[in-house]
Amino acid sequence: MNSQGDRATIRLLLADDQALVRGALAALLDLESDLSVVAEVGRGDEVVAAVLEHRPDVALLDVEMPGMDGIAATAALREAAPDTRVLIVTTFGRPGFLRKALHAGAGGFVVKDTPARQLADAVRRVHAGLRVVDPTLAADSLVSGESPLTERETQVLRAAHDGAPVAAIAGALFLSAGTVRNHLSSAMGKTGASTRAEAVRIAESNGWL
């Protein structure tokens, strides 16, 4: 790691539940003379505490992590440590995730197969207060648009995620079984799905859930 006494050094925190990926990212970024990885965590619910302890300039977060996902962790960091900027670095290049991440306060969103030099540049730009978004994802986000689902349809699909019966979904959401069926039918129509399981899958792939 680089000397923390160098004022030009940008301090980084890495959050990813895959140790090999985290280690590879740390090794690549530490090769840059102006970047230094000062902390690594493997869970989303460890991010805020680690940031408060190590005070990194930029936190690089994965989206899917145990404890708390990267988007929720981003929102938590906006509250707890607003001076630390966030760059989402993820395998899951879904337009819906991009919109959610930026709304939560992330300064950038790139995929993990971004070349090392481009990733380092993204870190520098986010640190400088600029917004960095993977160009392919940005284009896909414009094409896919906002979620067509209402808030209640989204809630019903989330509750149906694990294959729960209609009666269980109705009980959990304090709705009648008929109302749940209507929302599921509407969600299936909007997503072009033939089954509720397919509707959940399509909504998830677009980042609508």
pLDDT tens per residue, range 4-63: 444 479 999 999 999 999 999 999 999 999 999 999 999 999 999 999 999 999 999 999
Specify the CATH architecture of the domain 10-143.
3-Layer(aba) Sandwich (3.40)
Look at residue 140 in the predicted model and tell me its pLDDT.
64
Domain ranges in the chain are 10-143, 151-205
Q: Is the pLDDT of residue 124 over 70?
A: yes
Query: What is the assigned CATH class of domain 151-205?
Result: mainly alpha
d(CA 119, CA 12): 13
Look at residue 3 in the predicted model and tell me its pLDDT.
42
Q: Is the pLDDT of residue 1 over 60?
A: no
Look at residue 209 in the predicted model and tell me its pLDDT.
80
125 with 132: CB under 8 angstroms? yes
Q: What is the mean pLDDT of residues 111-115?
A: 87
Q: Is the pLDDT of residue 68 over 60?
A: yes
Q: What is the mean pLDDT of residues 110-128?
A: 92
Burial label for 168, CB within 10 Å (0-12, 13-18, 19+), is: middle
